[in-house]
Amino acid sequence: MRMFVGLGNPGGKYAGNRHNIGFMAVERIAEDHGFAPWRGKFQGKVSEGVLGREKVILLKPDTFMNLSGQSVGEAMRFYKLTPADVVVFHDELDLAPGKVRVKTGGGHAGHNGLRSIHQHIGADYDRVRMGIGHPGHKDRVAGYVLSDFAKAELGWLDDVIRGCSDGAPELAVGDGGKFSNAVALRVAPPRPSTGKKPPADAKAIKADTAPSDDTRSPFEKLRDKFKP
């Protein structure tokens, strides 16, 4: 059994924040892979399902970012998991927007959610570091992570979230390389050779972004999709 934890802050006012990209990732996984409805438990919201042959618990702490470890620790003890069974999806200032890296262990780099998790379960858990870029100065970080993604960012954001969902079954069995490949195929799909038809997957992605009668802006669509 594995537990995927998405970090963020609860409530509609935070739903589109950069700090909530972890919530967005696990919500997409739940939607795409037929997980059970979210329910309140462990000071958060939980959804259960199967990825491949692995049972997976999805967790969104409701404690607010700075106390995320309380929820994670409580859930981990209930399911009798070890830190090695836990994967945390979180925003990463030190990676460019659209970049995703998988890491095991290490420091929290000042991320308050990770800091809290360290305090409750230690550092030996896996992380999916989802790049959001840096505002340029440390004094601007708090306002930056608690502001919504800009309209111009929604394209790569949607690709990253979909890629994380595509690769979730590989991540559940501990194959970080194949997970990363799945994300890369969404963020930078291979281009067809000149004069040849694009692959079926490329057609599907293009069709998925085709215009419709929906009058909402791209951001409104994303915000509505990821509302709790």
Give the whole-angstrom CA distance, residue 41 versus residue 46.
6
Which H/E stretch holds residue 78?
A: helix 68-78
Give the whole-angstrom CA distance, residue 112 versus residue 86.
17
The DSSP output letter for 212 is: -
Active-site choice (19, 33, 90, 118): 19
Question: Is 19 in the active site?
Answer: yes
Largest Cα–Cα distance of the chain, in whole Å?
57
The DSSP output letter for 157 is: H
Give the whole-angstrom CA distance, residue 94 versus residue 91.
9
Distance set, CA 149 to CA 29, 110, 133 (Å) = 20, 21, 11
Active-site amino acid positions: 19
